[in-house]
Amino acid sequence: MLERLAERTGVYGVPPTAKTPGFIADAGWPQKLPNNWIIGQVGGLYVAPDDHIWIYQRPRTLTNDEAALTDATHKDKDEKPVDVMGFPRPYGILGDCCVPAPSVMEFDAAGKLLRAWGGPADSGKCRMEDGCVWPASEHGIFVDHNGFVYLGGSSRNADPNGSAWASTNGADGMILKFTKDGKFVMMVGGHGAKGPDSNNKNGGKNGTPLFYLPADITVDPVTNRMYVSDGYGNRRVVIVDAATGKYIGHFGAYGSNPIDDKAAAAAGIWMNDLTKGIMKPAFFRTPVHCVKIAKDGLLYVCDRGNNRVQVFNGRDPHLGQECRNTDGEAGKCGFVKEQFVSVHTNGLPGSAVSMNFSTDAKQSCLYVGDNSNMTIYVLKRDTLEELGRLGRSGREAGEFHWLHQVSLDSRGNIYTAEVDTGKRLQKFVRYGDDGCSGTGRTTVGGVLR
């Protein structure tokens, strides 16, 4: 049985000139949730330094039948009984399971739930009178070296049912900071942004930059700088002080600053450039979906709308400052290099959706999740060559439907999260090599023959 599972869920497409870690899906991870809880789309996933797995899930994406144990607690505009999500409950509960879990959940490596808090189901953790506004759509989670938990949001407004859990605060433009037990610390940014402003420096709470639908967060443990991929509306990465939220800098594609939002919007979708042979798009295309920093200070950005990954020197003092790099010159404005990921992927949701690194000393593997082609590319980090793939489209163990997040623990095990109707977590246990070596394909993605 394990041999069949390893064959179905392991790395494939590895050329004879390359070596990669091996993986096998753990179909029993995580353990059963308590309290008849169920999770919705998983908008955020991160493995903390202590190897605890944190997720940030969207209770409001559950369907009527998935949340069948919710009772009639409110009334709709016609005075008919509904549950907290606006689903009709004329006779009370629909069935024996389930109810929405809190949005933030912490698991140990064995998949045991350790704590859960926040979100519409636990609104006491985030109160407007304390300066906290819960996002309309949960997106992006990070746990830093000091144990603080950061959360993002990526919706212009949520909940078409107009329910008790509906968000009425306008577009998400915030990053929230909490302790591990859910004590609110601060909000960076704000809510209610009217549209893109990729050069905003101080439009948020306490003079912090106002984001527009931010997608991901990372904190450099060396500098305590927080990087925010901003995001579904803006076309930039923002750098702030993780302790205060104060603006430090921001940059777009190739490290350029300022960013011309009007010109970027006029450029349209990536296929417009590809069909014209323009292989150095001058702007990030939305969404700018992830940002990750390696131990050596290299900063990796998922330019999902352009089907590419861009790499920057996160400790270059010029990164984020005013700088022009219209020709995409390496070594200028903090820009290092780039790689297209399944370059011919046509339109949203795009390819490069999430990334993370192997945990060998050199972090020699870069794992890039592809939200359109439902796979994880195993790249050699120093060359960005493809050495193999993990997973494919499907609903079985080791397969993906709308792969959304990729993270690793200290043993090199991979954890993934899915959105849309995927709504699940998976664990891939590493065996064999802990890093990547050899040579691979210079083109990432495409049909394997």
Please state whether the predicted TM-score (pTM) of the whole model is above 0.75: yes
What the block records as the tokens of 367 is 């794992």
Please check whether residue 215 is in contact with residue 174, taking contact to mean a CB–CB distance below 8 angstroms. Answer: no
- The torsion angles phi and psi of 6, rounded to 5 degrees, stand at -65, -40
Check residue 101 and report its DSSP letter. Answer: P
Q: How many domains does the chain have?
A: 1
Give the per-residue pLDDT at 162.
Answer: 62
CATH of the domain at 166: 2.120.10.30
How many degrees, rounded to 5, is the angle at CA 288 between CA 207 and CA 116? 75
Partners of 354 in beta bridges: 369
Whether residue 70 is contained in a domain is answered as no
CA distances to 42, 118, 123, 137, 417 from 426, rounded to whole Å, are 11, 22, 28, 22, 7
Give the per-residue pLDDT at 6.
Answer: 78
Nearest of 321, 195, 311, 315 to residue 253 by alpha carbon:
311
Q: What is the 3-state secondary structure (H, E, C) of 141-159?
A: EEECCCCCEEEEECCCCCC
Whether residue 325 is contained in a domain is answered as yes
Partners of 219 in beta bridges: 226
Whether residue 244 is contained in a domain is answered as yes
Whether residue 106 is contained in a domain is answered as no
Whether residue 432 is contained in a domain is answered as yes
Partners of 12 in beta bridges: 389
Q: What is the pLDDT of residues 64-123, one digit of tens each?
A: 999 999 999 999 989 999 999 999 999 999 999 999 999 999 999 999 999 999 999 998
Q: What is the pLDDT of residues 190-201, one digit of tens each?
A: 999 889 999 999
Whether residue 444 is contained in a domain is answered as no
Residue-range definition of the domain harbouring residue 149: 2-60+120-438
Whether residue 65 is contained in a domain is answered as no
Whether residue 94 is contained in a domain is answered as no
Using 50 as the pLDDT threshold, list the residues of the chain that sit under it: none
